[in-house]
Structure 1
Amino acid sequence: MLRKKTGRIEIVSVKDERVEAFIPDPLPPEPGIKWSGDLQKLFDQAHVSLGELNAINEIVPNTELFLYMYVRKEAVLSSQIEGTQSSLSDLLTHEVGEAVSVPQDDVAEVSNYVAALNHGLKRMREDGFPLSLRLLKEMHAILLRSGRGQNLAPGEYRRTQNWVGGTRPGNAVFIPPPHTHLMDLMGDLEKFLHDEDIPPLLKAALAHLQFETIHPHLDGNGRLGRLMITLLLCAEGLLKQPSLYLSLYFKTYRQQYYDMLDTVRRKGDWESWLAFFAEAVVRTADQAVLTAKELQDMFARDSATINGLGKAKETAKAIHNALLAQPISTPSSLVEATGKTHATINSSLRNLELFGIVKEVSGRKRNRVYAYSEYIRIMDMGLDVPGEHSA
């Protein structure tokens, strides 16, 4: 079932070119979603996969550390979609105070993403703040507080016309609504976010596409729109922990993702988008479960090795625990984390390196840097998908 109308066109003038801006109708779609057997089956499977992800989060050795790394992986992926070159290792190296080879702006954007997500979760969980336009603006301000977007109105809606793709308005892929409509459009979106009659997973799928269509900011729309999915599912109780991130799936199937957005806008084919979204949830949640299990196996295997070190095992255990929290570390940071002496730390690191648990990655004789290489390898899976720039 295709809808005849999902929005309206308004002619606007941008940089001396007259173009067609698209103004979407409020959510939910009218007429309502047609739940075919296949679409319902996909959504049912997505709920099953989310249930398994919630369950695995309860049995990982340390849920906070698992989430620590997962949030950072998502930050890297989401930023790579926007064209940054920063890797997970770059971010972890930056966090321990070491210089990285990629542009500083790239690392800053990834670091800001982590901070924005943590801010949103804290506001909702500790402050009892609802997922709202105000919270999204606060997160946007953090996303763009440094790096390339810091001069593009952090925390504010745009006051000029923007466009997506292309080198100028005339050859753009998509022209979002004029800024004069933003308050009404975002107000309608907030009402939809608070609609208790809409199932959470359906709400997340519809709201994400609507936000991408409105494109309310000059920069950072993609990152904030992806963050909103996880925050909404956490706020609605469908996710117990923020461990579902769709950026890898969206990045891997980037062209299909953009085609889906365009098909909804042109033809009102929300059903195809919902099928794509549900498949993304299934694949992403299932992969997260496998990753968690692989991390469990790694933790058990390395713990067994460390327990066989005799008198040296206590310091090695302390270092192991510290590396779980900060997988790229220096002897100085490990001294601070464990309370052990430099000599003791360096001796234990040599043992751990001998057993292949850590690897020296700086190549220096002084001021060395060590990586929990297997941990990073497991979390790195999927980060080598080629990236392209997107607004």
Structure 2
Amino acid sequence: MAGVNQPGDLQLAVGWEPSEWDAGDIPMSRRERAESTGSYLASVPPGISDLDFDIPSEVAAGAEDALVEISRFDAELAASLPRADGELAPLAVVLLRTESASSSQIEGVTAGAKALAIATLNESSGQNARMVAANVEAMQKAIDLADDLSTDSILAAHRVLMHDQAYAHPGRLRDGQVWIGGGPTPHTATFVPPRHERVPALMDDLVAFCRRTDLPVLTQVSIAHAQFETIHPFNDGNGRTGRTLVHAMLRRSGVTRRLTVPVSAGLLTDTDAYFAALGSYRDGDPVPIITQFGRASFAAVGNGRRLVSDLTEIYADWQQVLPSRKGSAARRLLPHLLSQPAVTIAHVQQHLDVSQPAAQRAVDQLVEAEILKQISTGKRDRAWIAREVITVLDDFAARSGRRG
């Protein structure tokens, strides 16, 4: 290895290089224009693929404990949930959805569970809900590609995430300067990522780091995430794409197999500390970001356990109140409602592979049992929601600090 990194070691700290900027016709005040003349400083992140990291033993132990808790939670679901034709419910999708919503919230994009469920159906919904729904699909893409962790798989996740936002150049590394905070030019920014010419090599170095097998998993995941956010390889969607990388790495390492532990939801409990930890990493100290990921993991697992308990209780109650026979379309739909609590007749037809009349009968039976409630009127484009599931998902979000 090239060297050993210690907390605060300049080996990991970003460097800086002067760069030129032409503000052109960008509207700004006289003060802003005066502050935006001449060159600015762009960061120069170091390569990390061949660094060793000397993490204090107590920090490493805390990260290991958090990793064990994540793995235990993953195993608990597989061992404890009753099975019939499969799992009680695709709870991976439930947790994936709540993680995606929380991930987007870190960047100020919010959507309640009802809006998100409707957006997943591609029905009329607000922009925020559609963006969060895209984040769900992007995270699933990253997880699916965990066995082939590469720049191409990261680009694929970004392409799905930003597919309808041309300004973000979906699936392409940026070809210009970006900056974080501070106004209309990079001169007064809070942080200026590297010049775009450096991004391809930095991403190759990051992928090489992610593929290493000689580092503790959560330490490696935390550092990789912080390095990704420092590189900021895209015009937009960096935060959400970066958090998909977390879950791809957890899957790749074998820590999780069936679900997405909602780590971003844990980070929401203290976003100031999270952003401060990213700043410390850029100054050369990886300890705060590792600590934050450990804390986030414990918070996420505790919250996730409560979510699973609430959903399991709802499912048991549904089985008691629904009079239809075992194997009926209505009963077969119950597990699906835990992960997709908004449905249309067409959606039920497709999911259960039944006729339109059979799908309508199933929905009618669930309405009669007060499991579903119609939320739109008229004979066309009708939709129904499982209100109890919406409630527990929003409660989960509230416990995470998110407000939809």
Query: Same fold per TM (> 0.5)?
Result: yes
Equivalent of 1:283, from 296, 299, 318?
A: 299
Q: Does 1:132 align with 2:146?
A: no
CA-to-aligned-CA distance 1:243-265 (integer Å, 9 cap, x gap) = 22322223332221111111222
Q: TM-score, normalised by structure 2?
A: 0.82
Alignment of 1:89-100 (within 5 A): 89-100=114-125
- Cα pair 1:60 1:66 within 8 Å, conserved: no
CA–CA separation in structure 2 for the residues paired with 1:178 and 1:296: 49
Structure 2 stretches of 5 or more lacking a match? 1-5, 24-35
CA-to-aligned-CA distance 1:357-387 (integer Å, 9 cap, x gap) = 222323x254442211112222233435457
Match of 2:241? 224
Match of 2:53? 32
Equivalent of 2:21, from 8, 14, 19?
A: 14
Match of 2:228? 211
Equivalent of 2:176, from 160, 173, 177?
A: 160
RMSD: 2.9
Match of 1:142? 160
Match of 1:87? 112
Deviation at 1:195, TM superposition (A): 1.4
When residues 286 and 97 of structure 1 are mapped into structure 2, their CA distance, relative to the original with a 3 A threshold, is: same
Code of the aligned partner of 1:89: K
Deviation at 1:66, TM superposition (A): 0.9
CA–CA separation in structure 1 for the residues paired with 2:353 and 2:176: 54
Q: Does 1:116 align with 2:105?
A: no
- Cα pair 2:397 2:403 within 8 Å, conserved: no
Q: Secondary structure at the match of 1:57?
A: helix
Alignment of 1:221-370 (within 5 A): 221-266=238-283, 268-306=284-322, 309=323, 314=328, 316-324=330-338, 326-335=340-349, 337-338=351-352, 349=363, 352-353=366-367, 355-362=369-376, 364=377, 366-367=379-380, 368-370=382-384
When residues 387 and 375 of structure 1 are mapped into structure 2, their CA distance, relative to the original with a 3 A threshold, is: closer
When residues 66 and 178 of structure 1 are mapped into structure 2, their CA distance, relative to the original with a 3 A threshold, is: same
When residues 336 and 210 of structure 1 are mapped into structure 2, their CA distance, relative to the original with a 3 A threshold, is: closer
Q: Secondary structure at the match of 1:383?
A: helix
CA–CA separation in structure 2 for the residues paired with 1:63 and 1:185: 43
Equivalent of 1:377, from 371, 391, 399?
A: 391
- Cα pair 1:358 1:371 within 8 Å, conserved: yes
Code of the aligned partner of 1:295: L
More deviation, 249-258/24-33: 24-33
Q: Does 1:3 align with 2:8?
A: yes
CA–CA separation in structure 1 for the residues paired with 2:348 and 2:403: 34
Alignment of 1:51-66 (within 5 A): 51-58=71-78, 59-61=80-82, 62=87, 65-66=90-91
- Cα pair 1:14 1:161 within 8 Å, conserved: no
When residues 312 and 359 of structure 1 are mapped into structure 2, their CA distance, relative to the original with a 3 A threshold, is: farther
CA–CA separation in structure 1 for the residues paired with 2:320 and 2:346: 26
CA–CA separation in structure 2 for the residues paired with 1:223 and 1:303: 37
More deviation, 73-82/213-222: 73-82
CA-to-aligned-CA distance 1:236-295 (integer Å, 9 cap, x gap) = 1111123223222233322211111112222x2211221111111111123222322222
Code of the aligned partner of 1:91: L
Q: Secondary structure at the match of 1:275?
A: helix
Q: Secondary structure at the match of 1:151?
A: helix
- Cα pair 1:295 1:375 within 8 Å, conserved: yes
Equivalent of 2:218, from 201, 210, 216?
A: 201
CA–CA separation in structure 1 for the residues paired with 2:56 and 2:337: 47
Match of 1:77? 102
Q: How many residues are treated as equivalent by the alignment?
A: 374
CA-to-aligned-CA distance 1:180-225 (integer Å, 9 cap, x gap) = 2212222221211111211222111110000000111111110111
Q: Secondary structure at the match of 2:168?
A: coil
CA–CA separation in structure 1 for the residues paired with 2:327 and 2:254: 41
CA–CA separation in structure 2 for the residues paired with 1:172 and 1:203: 28
- Cα pair 1:165 1:172 within 8 Å, conserved: yes
CA–CA separation in structure 2 for the residues paired with 1:262 and 1:97: 38
CA–CA separation in structure 1 for the residues paired with 2:324 and 2:161: 47
Deviation at 1:299, TM superposition (A): 1.4
Q: Secondary structure at the match of 1:301?
A: helix
Q: Secondary structure at the match of 1:196?
A: coil
Q: Secondary structure at the match of 1:217?
A: coil
Q: TM-score, normalised by structure 1?
A: 0.85
CA-to-aligned-CA distance 1:15-55 (integer Å, 9 cap, x gap) = 45322222222226967333233x23422320231122121
Deviation at 1:137, TM superposition (A): 1.2
